[in-house]
C-alpha cells in the first residue's frame, strides 16, 4: 500500500471504540473486509479483519501506544495492495512495502517512527521506456507493451494490467517517463503506465500451471546432488535454532540460478537483514558477474517490528515475485521464517478471541499455508511467456520438534524437504541437512535435465551415494555397541567411504570463497572421485590387501580437499590417478 493512493477520497470515517495492542475496534465505519484504513490522529496504517454489526475490527501495522477511543478511523476503500513497477529491485521494504531507506530519510532517525508513509516505488524518478507495440496493434490483458532497463541485469517489461480489457493501441510514447505517466493509450480510453497496483492477498492470473522440468540449481552440493528443487517448486527448511536455516536461505538467495530473487525476512533478526543489505551489493551474481542486488528485492520485517505487518510481509513478497514471473522470469522467493508468519496469525487470532485450533494456532492455518505455497509454480503467463516462482520457506519448530502444526501442515504441501539437524550443527557439519530425513519429490522429473546437462550417469551416481550413506547409518548403530574394529573389513571400508562422502561431499563451507558456490559439474566430480576410491578400495580388499593399508594411502585425505581447490578439474584428474596407482601398488 502506498501514498500513491492518498489522492483518493476516503470512503468514510468512523471512530475508535477500543484499543488492545495491534487490534483496534471501530464503530460507524463503512468498510469492506480487508480494506486498508488509517487509524487515529496519527493515521496509523491498518487493515479490516472482521466486521460484526456496526463494529469493525482492524489490525494495525504500527505500534499503538497512546491511541485512544474516540479518535477517527479513515477508510481508503482499497484492499492492501503493492505498487508494482520498475524500482522494486535493489530495494528494501518493510512488510507493507514501505522502502526502509526512504523511511530513514523521512523520519531522520535510525528508529522507526509511526504514521510515516512512503510509496513502494519512486514516483518522481524517470525511466527510459522503449515500446514494443505500435499504433494500431491490438493488445490484451497481460501483454508486454514495452521494456525499461531496471537494473544492469534485468529488463523490466511493462505489461497491460490483468484487469484491463485491452484493445487497439491509439498512441505510444518513447523516452523518459515517471511511473505514473501513460506510455501507451488504447482506443477504449485505457491508459497504461509503468505502475500497476495489485492486492497482495490475491494471486495474479495466469493461463495454466505446468509441471516443472528444470532444476533451480543452488550451488549447494547436498541440494543439487541429493535433494534438488525444481524451478517453480516448493521447499521447506525446518530446523531448530542454530542449525543454519538462515545461512542456507542466504546461500540460496546468493547462488540459486533464478533471474530474480525476492528475500522475505519475516520476524527474524535485524542484524541478519543488515548482513544481507551490506553483503549483497558487493557479491557477484554467479550468472553474469553483476551486483547481486541488481536481481534482488528485500522485504525486512524483523521480529521487533509490528506483528500485523509481519503477517502481511509474505504476501507482499509473493505478489512482487508473481509480477516478475508475469514478465517471463524465473523467480525464487525465500521466506525466513514462515513460523513467524504463522505466529503472527496466532497472535492476531487470539486477540480476536477466535476459537483456537492446534497449539493455539487458528483453525485456518493449514489453509493459509496451502494457499501461499500454491502461488508458487511453473506457469504459462497471460502474455504467452513462461515463468516460475519457486517458494522456499524456512520453518522454526519450537524445540526443534517437527511434529508441530506449522511443520506438519507445510510438509503436506511442499515437495522438497530439507531437514536441518541440531546434532550435525553441533559438530559443525554444515549445511546441517540430515540426509536420512530429507527428500525431494522432483528427482524423477529433473533427472533428464541433469543427464543432458551434467552427466549421463547422474541418477546412478546419486543412488550410489544415497545407498552408501544409508548403509553407514545402519552400521553406525552396530558401531555404537561394539566398536568399529569389531566389524568385518568390507563394512569398515563402507564406513570409511561414507566418511569421505560426509566430509568431502556433503559438507560445504559457506564462508570460503571457492567453496560457497559449487557448480553441478564440480558436485559430480567430487562424487565420482570418491566413488573411484570406493571401487579401487573394494577391488584391493577382494585381492586380500589389509584395510589399514588401503585407507592409509597418501591420496585418501585429499578427497576432503577437492571442494576448496581453485583448479578442481586438474586436482580431480590427478587425485583419481593417484588413488588408482597407490591402491593398485598394494597388490
Q: Write out the binding residues for ATP.
A: 239-246
Q: Which of residues 546-575 bind other proteins (CB under 8 A)?
A: 557, 560-561
Task: Sort 72 into a burial class: Cβ within 10 Å, 0-12 / 13-18 / 19+.
Answer: middle
Determine if 489 is a binding residue for other proteins (CB under 8 A): no
Q: Are the C-beta atoms of residues 4 and 83 closer than 8 Å to each other?
A: yes
Q: Which range in 78-86, 108-116, 161-169, 288-296 contacts other proteins by CB under 8 A?
A: 108-116
State in angstroms the smallest separation of the CB of 275 from other proteins: 5
| Interface with other proteins (CB under 8 A), residue from 330, 347, 472, 496 | 347
Determine if 360 is a binding residue for other proteins (CB under 8 A): yes
Give kind and range of the element (H or E) at residue 296: strand 296-301
Q: How many residues does the chain have?
A: 587
State in angstroms the smallest separation of the CB of 367 from other proteins: 19
**Residues in binding contact with other proteins, number by CB under 8 A:** 79
- Other residues' Cβ atoms within 10 Å of the Cβ of residue 288: 10
Annotated binding site: 239-246
Q: Are the C-beta atoms of residues 495 and 483 closer than 8 Å to each other?
A: no
| Interface with other proteins (CB under 8 A), residue from 7, 9, 403, 480 | 480
The backbone torsions φ and ψ at residue 225, rounded to the nearest 5 degrees and listed phi first, read: -75, -45
Determine if 26 is a binding residue for other proteins (CB under 8 A): no
State in angstroms the smallest separation of the CB of 192 from other proteins: 32
Q: Which of residues 388-427 bind other proteins (CB under 8 A)?
A: 396, 398-401, 422, 425-427
Determine if 304 is a binding residue for other proteins (CB under 8 A): yes
Determine if 208 is a binding residue for other proteins (CB under 8 A): no
Please spell the DSSP secondary structure of 339-401, one letter per residue. HHHHHHHHHHHHHTTPPB-GGG-BTTHHHHHHHHHHT-EEEE-TTS-EEEEEEEEEE--GGG-
Between β-strands 182-186 and 167-172, what pairing exists: parallel, antiparallel or unpaired?
A: antiparallel
| Interface with other proteins (CB under 8 A), residue from 86, 212, 232, 267 | 267
Determine if 19 is a binding residue for other proteins (CB under 8 A): yes
Determine if 448 is a binding residue for other proteins (CB under 8 A): no
Cα(310)–Cα(347) distance, rounded to whole angstroms?
11
Q: Which of residues 56-85 bind other proteins (CB under 8 A)?
A: 63-71
Q: Which residue, 340 or 368, has its beta carbon nearer to other proteins?
A: 340
Determine if 18 is a binding residue for other proteins (CB under 8 A): yes
Q: Which residue, 444 or 567, has its beta carbon nearer to other proteins?
A: 567
* 3-class DSSP state of 100: helix
* 3-class DSSP state of 581: helix
Question: Which of 345, 397, 393 is CA-nearest to residue 368?
Answer: 345
Determine if 473 is a binding residue for other proteins (CB under 8 A): no
Cα(264)–Cα(317) distance, rounded to whole angstroms?
6
DSSP label at residue 356? B
Q: Which of residues 506-535 bind other proteins (CB under 8 A)?
A: 511
Q: Which of residues 272-291 bind other proteins (CB under 8 A)?
A: 273-275, 277-278
Binding mask 88-107 for other proteins (x = CB under 8 A): ----x-------xx-xx--x
DSSP label at residue 223? I
Q: Which residue, 217 or 553, has its beta carbon nearer to other proteins?
A: 553
- 75 forms bridges with which residues in the sheet? 12, 37
Those residues whose C-beta lies under 8 Å from the C-beta of residue 289, and which sit 6 or more positions away, are: none
- Other residues' Cβ atoms within 10 Å of the Cβ of residue 426: 11
Determine if 50 is a binding residue for other proteins (CB under 8 A): no
| Interface with other proteins (CB under 8 A), residue from 128, 284, 359, 437 | 359
User: How many Cα atoms within 13 Å fall on the side-chain side of residue 544?
Assistant: 1
Estimate the crossing angle of helix 520-542 against helix 568-584, to 10 degrees.
0
Determine if 343 is a binding residue for other proteins (CB under 8 A): yes
Q: Which residue, 74 or 347, has its beta carbon nearer to other proteins?
A: 347
Amino acid at each position: 500500500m502506498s501514498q500513491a493512493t492518498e489522492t483518493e477520497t476516503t470512503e468514510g470515517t468512523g471512530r475508535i471504540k477500543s484499543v488492545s495492542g495491534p487490534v483496534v475496534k471501530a464503530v460507524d465505519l463503512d468498510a469492506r473486509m480487508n480494506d486498508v484504513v488509517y487509524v487515529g490522529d496519527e493515521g496509523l496504517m491498518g487493515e479490516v479483519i472482521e466486521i460484526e454489526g456496526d463494529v469493525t475490527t482492524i489490525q494495525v501495522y504500527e505500534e499503538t501506544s497512546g491511541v485512544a477511543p474516540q479518535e477517527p478511523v479513515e477508510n481508503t476503500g482499497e484492499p492492501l495492495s503493492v505498487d508494482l513497477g520498475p524500482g522494486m529491485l535493489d530495494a528494501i521494504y518493510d512488510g507493507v512495502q514501505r522502502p526502509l531507506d526512504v523511511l530513514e530519510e523521512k523520519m531522520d532517525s535510525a528508529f522507526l517512527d509511526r504514521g510515516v508513509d512512503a510509496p513502494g516505488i519512486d514516483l518522481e524518478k524517470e525511466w527510459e521506456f522503449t515500446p514494443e507495440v505500435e499504433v494500431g496493434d491490438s493488445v490484451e490483458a497481460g501483454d508486454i507493451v514495452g521494456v525499461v532497463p531496471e537494473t544492469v541485469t534485468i529488463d523490466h517489461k511493462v505489461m497491460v494490467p490483468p484487469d484491463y480489457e485491452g484493445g487497439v493501441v491509439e498512441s505510444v510514447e518513447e523516452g523518459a517517463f515517471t511511473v505514473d505517466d501513460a506510455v501507451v493509450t488504447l482506443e477504449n480510453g485505457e491508459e497504461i503506465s509503468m505502475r500497476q497496483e495489485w492486492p497482495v492477498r490475491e494471486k495474479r492470473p495466469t493461463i495454466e500451471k505446468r509441471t516443472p522440468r528444470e532444476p533451480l540449481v543452488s550451488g549447494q552440493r547436498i541440494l543439487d546432488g541429493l535433494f534438488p528443487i525444481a524451478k517453480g517448486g516448493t521447499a521447506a527448511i525446518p530446523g531448530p535454532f542454530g542449525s543454519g536455516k538462515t545461512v542456507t536461505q542466504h546461500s540460496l538467495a546468493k547462488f540459486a540460478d533464478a533471474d530474480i530473487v525476492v528475500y522475505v525476512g519475516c520476524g527474524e533478526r535485524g542484524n541478519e537483514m543488515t548482513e544481507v543489505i551490506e553483503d549483497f551489493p558487493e557479491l557477484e551474481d554467479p550468472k553474469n558477474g553483476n551486483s547481486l542486488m541488481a536481481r534482488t528485492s528485500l522485504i525486512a520485517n524483523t521480529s521487533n517490528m509490528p506483528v500485523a505487518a509481519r503477517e502481511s510481509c509474505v504476501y507482499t513478497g509473493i505478489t512482487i515475485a508473481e509480477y516478475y514471473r508475469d514478465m517471463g522470469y524465473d523467480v525464487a522467493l525465500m521466506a525466513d521464517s514462515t513460523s513467524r508468519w504463522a505466529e503472527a496469525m496466532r497472535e492476531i487470532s487470539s486477540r480476536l478471541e477466535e476459537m483456537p485450533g492446534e497449539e493455539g494456532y487458528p483453525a485456518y492455518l493449514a489453509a493459509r499455508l496451502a494457499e501461499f505455497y500454491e502461488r508458487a509454480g511453473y506457469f504459462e503467463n497471460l502474455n504467452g511467456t513462461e515463468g516460475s516462482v519457486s517458494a522456499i520457506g524456512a520453518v522454526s519448530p519450537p524445540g526443534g520438534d517437527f511434529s508441530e502444526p506449522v511443520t506438519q501442515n507445510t510438509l503436506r504441501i511442499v515437495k522438497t524437504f530439507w531437514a536441518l539437524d541440531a546434532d550435525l550443527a553441533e559438530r559443525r557439519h554444515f549445511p546441517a541437512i540430515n540426509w536420512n530425513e530429507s527428500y525431494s519429490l522432483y528427482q524423477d522429473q529433473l533427472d533428464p535435465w541433469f543427464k543432458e546437462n551434467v552427466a549421463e550417469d547422474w541418477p546412478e551416481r546419486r543412488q550410489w551415494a544415497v545407498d552408501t550413506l544409508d548403509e553407514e547409518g545402519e552400521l553406525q548403530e552396530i558401531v555404537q555397541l561394539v566398536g568399529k574394529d569389531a566389524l568385518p573389513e568390507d563394512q569398515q571400508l563402507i564406513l570409511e567411504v561414507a566418511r569421505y562422502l560426509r566430509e568431502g561431499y556433503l559438507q560445504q563451507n559457506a564462508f570460503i570463497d571457492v567453496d560457497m558456490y559449487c557448480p553441478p559439474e564440480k558436485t559430480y566430480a567430487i562424487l565420482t572421485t570418491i566413488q573411484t576410491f570406493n571401487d579401487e578400495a573394494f577391488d584391493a580388499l577382494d585381492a586380500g590387501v589389509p584395510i589399514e593399508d588401503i585407507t592409509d594411502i597418501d591420496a585418501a585425505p585429499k578427497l576432503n580437499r577437492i571442494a576448496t581447490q581453485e583448479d578442481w578439474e586438474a586436482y580431480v584428474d590427478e587425485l583419481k590417478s593417484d588413488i588408482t596407482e597407490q591402491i593398485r601398488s598394494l597388490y
